[in-house]
Amino acid sequence: MRSRSAVRAGALVLAAAVLAGCQADEFGAGPKHLRPVSDSIKRKMTDLNMSSNSPIMIRIFKEESEMEVWKQTRTGKYKKLEEFEICKWSGKLGPKFKEGDRQAPEGFYEITPALMNPNSSYHLAFNLGYPNRYDRAHGRTGSHLMVHGACSSRGCYAMTDEQVEDIYALARESFKGGQKSFQVQAFPFRMTPENMAKHRDNEHLGYWKMLKTGYDHFEVTKTPPKVSVCEKKYVFDATTLVEGVPFRASAQCPEYQVHPSISSAVAAKQSKDDEKFQQLASRFDAREERLQRREERNKRIAEVFGNAGDETEITTATIPSADRPASEASASAVAAANPPTDAQGETDATAVETAFAPQEQSSGSVAGRFLKRWVPFGSKTTEAEASVGPITTDVVPGAKP
């Protein structure tokens, strides 16, 4: 009996272990937080001269619903490794302000290993670290703002489970390679002059222009910018002139400088973008003015012709025609005023149309009818109009041979 009990207990333990193993690695795929990146991404890393554990950076674009993963190449510059379609994000364009507004954040965030969550209820996740120093300086509140799987969002950026596995694996390997944190840049849209001009009347345009400065720093350097906060604003690639003086989010900015090569390249890009922005904004404004004038003109025309249409219908139905008896015109007017109905009481559309149909034109004056009847040339006559009688002549034709 004891041996049987021991065998039964061993079988139960073995079964539990088997079940636990199935749940942990899901039929041999390995624990979800330890799975390698997909083969397609491995091939891309090889093609782009990237090591598997080199640093990464992520860019998010709300309006386009796109997430880009950039990775450092062996040359030290970053290249775009993969672009994922965001499954869902909540809220609208603009930053998050307070807990419960269901807004997905916009700004610059640093993700450390402590913010990675392998046991997320949404498959896998990492916390954005909202609110950051800038958000806190502006009194913004919120918590648990994530990039996660399960394609469900309440203020987060939700991906599919397959996508988040690749993103999580890339982040995990970058930490193994020595990266202490990776940057997430969350934008309302791609920060192009076209998009900025399209949203020129938005209340957040000033904030977005500040974000665009960081966007431009990355565009010209192809390395993630160093992000600081002072005077409640973002500052990029800044180094204090006095060693040891820190940037404080709500305090006055210390004296700092940006490397001349970076500042000149960013200034040149922004000057070119600003010129294009002004051109596009003027064009968009002119187009909107034309559309507004056209709408107002069409509205006035509709009002005028709407009233004129009612008057015309009444006149046509009641005024007798000069080419038909008054009694006939009166009958037509009565018919127009009281259209016949069918057995269900619905108006007979044919009768109404007949009442407003154009009448046949008169055949003309008496003299005109006489000429048309007797002159053997000119307009062609028909048998219904008249038949020509015999014509006499003094000339006798010769006999036929």
Active site annotation includes 33:
no
Return the structure tokens found at 153.
Answer: 């969002």
Q: Which residues contact 96 (CB under 8 A, 6 or more apart)?
A: 103, 104, 105, 106, 130, 135, 140, 142, 145, 155
Helix (H) or strand (E) holding 183: strand 182-187
Nearest to 185 by CA among 147, 150, 220: 147
Choose the catalytic residue: 33, 138, 144, 156.
156
**Is residue 355 helix, strand or coil?**
helix
Nearest to 183 by CA among 329, 78, 319: 78
**Single-letter amino acid code for the residue at 181:** S
- How far are the Cα atoms of 29, 195, 216 from residue 23, in angstroms, in the given order? 10, 46, 46
Active site annotation includes 199:
no
- How far are the Cα atoms of 329, 394, 395, 396 from residue 399, in angstroms, in the given order? 61, 15, 13, 9
Nearest to 100 by CA among 136, 149, 144, 62: 144
Q: Which residues contact 311 (CB under 8 A, 6 or more apart)?
A: none
Q: Work out whether strand 146-148 and strand 157-158 pair parallel, antiparallel, or are unpaired.
A: parallel
Choose the catalytic residue: 148, 151, 204, 230.
148
Task: Report the C-alpha gap between 35 and 163 in whole angstroms.
Answer: 12
Task: Report the C-alpha gap between 237 and 298 in whole angstroms.
Answer: 54
* DSSP labels, 295-330: HHHHHHHHHHHHHHHHHHHHHHHHSPPTTS-HHHHH
Nearest to 229 by CA among 156, 311, 138: 138
Radius of gyration in angstroms for the set of CA atoms belonging to the chain, rounded to a whole number:
42
Residues taking part in catalysis: 148, 156
